[in-house]
Amino acid sequence: MSKALLIVESPAKAKTINKYLGSDFEVKASLGHVMDLPPNRLGVDLEHDFSPEYQVIEGKEKIVRELQRAARQAEAIYLAPDPDREGEAIAWHIARQLGGDPEKYHRVLFHELTKPAILKAVQHPQHLNENSFNSQQARRVLDRLVGYQISPLLWDKVKRGLSAGRVQSVALRLVVERERAVKSFISEEYWTLESELQACNPPLFKARLQRLNDKKFDPHSQDETEQAMASLQGQAFTVNKIIRRERKTAPAAPFITSTLQQEAFRKLGFEPKRTMSLAQKLYEGQETEEGQMGLITYMRTDSTRLAEEAVKDVRAFIAKRFGPEYVPSRPQVYKAKAMAQEAHEAIRPTSVLRTPESLLKYLKKDELALYRLIWNRFVSCQMAMAVYDQTQVDIQSGPGLWRASGQVMRFPGFTAVYVEGYDEGQKGKSQNDEEPLNLPPLEEGQTLVNLKFLPKQHFTQPPPRFTEASLVKELEDKGIGRPSTYASILSTLQDKEYAAKYNRRYLVPTSLGEIVNDLLVENFPQVMEVNFTARLEDSLDQVEEGKEDWKKLLRVFYQPFSAALNKAKIQMRQVKGKGLPAGIDCPHCARPLNIRLGKHGEFLACSAWPECNYTSDFERDDKGAVIPVAGPELPEEKCDKCGAPMIVKKGRFGLFLACSAYPKCRNNIPLDANGQPMEASSWEELKDKCPKCGSALLLRTSRAGNKFIACSAYPKCRYATSPPLDVACPECGGQLTEKRSRRGKAFYGCNNYPECKFASWDKPVDHICPACGGKIMLEKVTRQGKSSLLCPNSECKYSMVKE
């Protein structure tokens, strides 16, 4: 009897689903997309109405053949990629590759991976959603048109390897404009005046001056504040009015993708990319005491809707754990944003009874932290409001009106479980943002004693720089992109070195990012316009709802874009080779300096090069002005080859002295950790010759104090490597050396490579294994700094603590 075939994206998801479907189904994984636009060309037929030229992704041919073989034997095919636009595209492409009778295909949407949800979805399959697929196609083609046609322009005008993106570049613009707002901000002085007061009974309390002579008190100098203090000195302080009222605050809505990313950054310090990776694992299934199952609902959603059964279960849980007074009379319902896909649910645990404590031994630390965040937010969103007693006291003293206010919590409600975090500069630090009130018993008309005035100087603050959380919020508020893309956008900005982390928290644009942003804004104002990008997102949502034709959307976009592209090819400023004006003059010839891009980053160079060869590193002050920082010419250090002055430069191995007559003279001297020229005696000449040019090899010391081997013919020959370890290769007897992978990670390999392919991530140590007699052991260092020795023999695996 033939089985039904069910296809999902990931093996982890397949494992969870297979457990519940049993022998009637064969569950296969496609490992993501199987088709896409070609990687090395545009792949969009502009002559035939933007027809996408899809092809099987390189490396996926074997998976496609396996799926085709399984499909030929299946009586029905259930396509169950993720329940979003990307998942719909995967389903359509799989169906296209498998072929056959269209009636054989069924679309299955798993919003959570639990037995009831899986069985229900399979029993009630849907048809493939063409509108959702077209929306994804339009998005993919738009991104390809922008990325593959603007990026080569940046390669030509700035440097190779750069990229532009329909949403990515607008996000970069937000970061650049915020940084410029911070640097151009002019801080203004202002003052506040408080009074420490005493009533008949303790405690003492403070009140702030609000009005003076029936005008708002808003002093901007110490003189104004002192004049106010003089006019109030000796005045009687009398309680004028007391207002007491009840204040209620509602819990935050359950998580959607964007709010999960924001809150995970605020409370756990997780970058959006990390958050989504962990959430994917929790959704696809984890081993628990009940077996393999999904722990949260689908994590790419913009809907705050909750299933009735889930709400019923959590209300019962709240009543049992916290008491009936914590359960509101009616379930909390949250308004979804416009265009939210209400077929989805909010992100919640698949069972409220599966508490974080019950998963302690099944989840890793970060997985458990994120699950606890999701669980707490879900439980709190269905709890009663928090109730505060709020008191405001107005106090009169002659021409001055003072005010003391605050609140005390009467009923914690949802705050017993969860309080939402906040970003720097965000109004209202949290739902409980006022200080607890601590006032003595007061009555209207009561006289108070002014113990002392408390003047305080303040300065206005610039807008806060974006964190990853606040940038996600800004993108969402402005309708730029969609929550499922935010993590990749933030990663790309940093991977392409358009933005970097300041104090490991704040996103600031690099000079490269500012250059790219300015060029794009100048030449593609429509693509870089925030409101245009938001309207385009709305149009893509209209395509998904079947209200707009996706080919028409592309035609409307491409006509002005194509005109701007052709114009930019001619008019875009050339940065490569010339650089951008730095705003300061050359100290040698008084001509303008330019900021140029080199192998090791940006540097200052004279615009009169090669007539004037002045170069320097630079930094920026608080206002963004360029300040040269490279060392001056050192008259006492003359080139020993041509007699010209030596100047300080920065290279791959740190600072060094270079001849100012470069490129006529290429002499250079490395500097030690103290910035002093290294003596030739500190260069040890080795017996071995350079494998590239045959020159002598030198054992040198970097500025950081690390030993390395370099060719004596540098910079003509740039061969460099780490010195060999004092350990012989256990396989061929050659020398083991430290090497670097393509991604820059250190590993250890044999110098006889490729004949000998011994390699290890851990450092080899000349120590015989006591168990098997192996020639070496590997030193493994834990995060706590503890070292142990492991035998590399897979059959031995002996380990010991390193002495």
Amino acid at the residue 555 = R
| 143's tokens | 């991104």
Choose the catalytic residue: 54, 298, 486, 748.
298
For 754-772, how does the pLDDT look when each residue is reduced to its tens digit (9 = 90+)?
888 888 888 898 888 888 8
For 247-303, how does the pLDDT look when each residue is reduced to its tens digit (9 = 90+)?
999 999 999 999 999 999 999 999 999 999 999 999 998 888 888 889 999 999 989
For 308-332, how does the pLDDT look when each residue is reduced to its tens digit (9 = 90+)?
999 999 999 999 999 999 999 999 9
Output the pTM of the full model: 0.76
Cα distance between residue 411 and residue 771, in whole Å:
65
For 528-559, how does the pLDDT look when each residue is reduced to its tens digit (9 = 90+)?
999 999 899 999 999 999 999 999 999 999 99
CB 751 within 8 A of CB 759: no
CB 419 within 8 A of CB 263: no
pLDDT at 471 over 80: yes
Q: Is 418 a catalytic residue?
A: no
**What SS3 state is found at 759?**
strand
Return the minimum-mean-pLDDT range out of 234-238, 406-410, 536-540, 730-734: 730-734
CB 623 within 8 A of CB 636: no
The answer for residues whose C-beta is within 8 angstroms of residue 799's C-beta and 6 or more apart is 788, 789, 790, 791
Q: What is the pLDDT, as a whole number, of residue 140? A: 95
For 52-65, how does the pLDDT look when each residue is reduced to its tens digit (9 = 90+)?
999 999 999 999 99
For 475-523, how does the pLDDT look when each residue is reduced to its tens digit (9 = 90+)?
999 989 888 889 999 999 999 989 998 888 899 998 889 989 999 999 9
For 25-51, how does the pLDDT look when each residue is reduced to its tens digit (9 = 90+)?
999 999 999 999 999 899 999 999 999
- In 322-425, alpha helices (H): 365-381
Cα 154 off chain centre by: 24
Q: How far is CA 346 from CA 114, 371, 375, 794, in A?
A: 16, 14, 12, 46
In percent, the amount of the chain with pLDDT more than 90 equals 59
pLDDT at 127 over 90: yes
| 45's tokens | 């037929």
